Chains A and B, each alone.
Chain A
Amino acid sequence: MIMDNGLNPASENNKEYVIRLKDIVKKFYIGRPNELEILHGISMDVKRGEFVSIVGPSGSGKSTLMNVIGVLDKPTSGTYYLDGINVEEADEDELSDIRNQKIGFVFQTYNLISKTTALSNVELPMLYAGVSARKRRERAMELLSLVEMEDRAKHLPEELSGGQKQRVAIARAMANSPAIILADEPTGALDTKTGRLVMDIFHKLHKEQGITIVLITHSPELAKETERILPLRDGNIIYGGDSPDLSAV
Chain B
Amino acid sequence: MLFKENVILALRSLKSNKMRAFLTMLGIIIGVSAVIAILTVGNSITKNVTSMMNGLGANDVFIAVQEKKNSTETEDEIKALKVDGLNFGKSSSSTKMQQSDYITTEMIYSMCEEFKDEIYAVNIYDQLGNADVAYEGKKAKNSVVGTSVGFYLSNSVDVVEGTMFSPSDFDEGKYTCLIPTYTAKRLFGKNYKDAIGQEITAETSYGDVLLTVIGVYKTNGRNGMMMQMGTSIHSTYVPLKTAMALDHSSGQYSFFQVSAKDGINPNSLKGKVKSFLEPYFRNNARYTVAVVTYENILNMFYKLLGMITLAISIIAGIALLVGGIGVMNIMLVSVTERTREIGTRKALGARNSSIRAQFIVEAVIICLIGGIIGVVFGILMGNVASYFLGYPADPSILGIVISLGVSSAVGLFFGYFPANKAARLNPIEALRYE
Contacts and interface: CB of A to CB of B under 8 A. Distances in A.
Interface of A: 67, 70, 72-73, 92-93, 96-97, 99-101, 105, 107, 111-116, 124-125, 127-130, 172, 176
Nearest to B343: A111
Contact of A124 (B348, B351, B427): B348
A112 B12 CA distance: 16
Interface in B306-347: 340-341, 343-347
A113 B345 contact: yes
Those 10 A-B pairs whose CB atoms lie nearest each other, nearest first = A100-B349, A111-B344, A96-B351, A128-B349, A99-B349, A125-B348, A72-B427, A105-B347, A128-B350, A93-B351
B348 A128 contact: yes
Interface string B1-25: 1100100000011001000000000
Contact of A125 (B13, B349, B431): B349
Contacts, number: 63
Nearest to A114: B341
B358 to A, nearest CB: 11
A72 B351 contact: no
B341 A113 contact: yes
B341 A97 contact: no
Nearest to A173: B348
Contact of B428 (A72, A100, A115, A128): A72
Q: Which of B341, B348, B427 is the most central at the interface, judged by chain A CB atoms within 10 Å of its CB?
A: B348
B428 A73 contact: yes
20 contacts: A67-B428, A70-B347, A73-B428, A92-B352, A93-B351, A93-B352, A96-B350, A99-B346, A100-B348, A100-B350, A101-B349, A107-B431, A111-B344, A113-B341, A114-B341, A115-B12, A127-B2, A129-B349, A130-B1, A172-B348
A128 B431 contact: no
A130 B16 CA distance: 27
Interface in B171-224: none
A130 B179 CA distance: 74
A153 B1 CA distance: 24
B92 interface: no
B46 interface: no
Contacts of A113: 341, 344-345
Interface of B: 1-2, 5, 12-13, 16, 340-341, 343-354, 427-428, 431
Contacts of B340: 111
Contacts of A128: 2, 345, 348-351, 354
In this complex, the member of B343, B346, B351 whose beta carbon has the largest number of chain A beta carbons within 10 angstroms is B351
A218 B220 CA distance: 91
Nearest to B347: A105
Nearest to B1: A130
Contacts of B5: 127
A96 B349 contact: yes
B351 A97 contact: yes
A170 to B, nearest CB: 13
Contacts of A67: 428
Contacts of A124: 345, 348
A115 B15 CA distance: 10
Nearest to B427: A72
A160 to B, nearest CB: 16
A127 B5 CA distance: 9
Contacts of A105: 347-348
B347 A99 contact: yes
Nearest to B346: A96
Q: Which of B1, B349, B428 has the most CB of A within 10 A?
A: B349
Contacts of A96: 346, 349-352
Nearest to B8: A120
Given A96-B349, A99-B346, A101-B349, 15 more contacts: A72-B346, A72-B428, A72-B431, A99-B348, A99-B349, A111-B347, A111-B431, A114-B341, A116-B12, A124-B348, A128-B2, A128-B345, A128-B354, A130-B1, A172-B348
B105 to A, nearest CB: 83
Contacts of A129: 349
Nearest to A175: B348
Contacts of B346: 72, 96, 99
A42 to B, nearest CB: 18
B399 to A, nearest CB: 36
A66 to B, nearest CB: 10
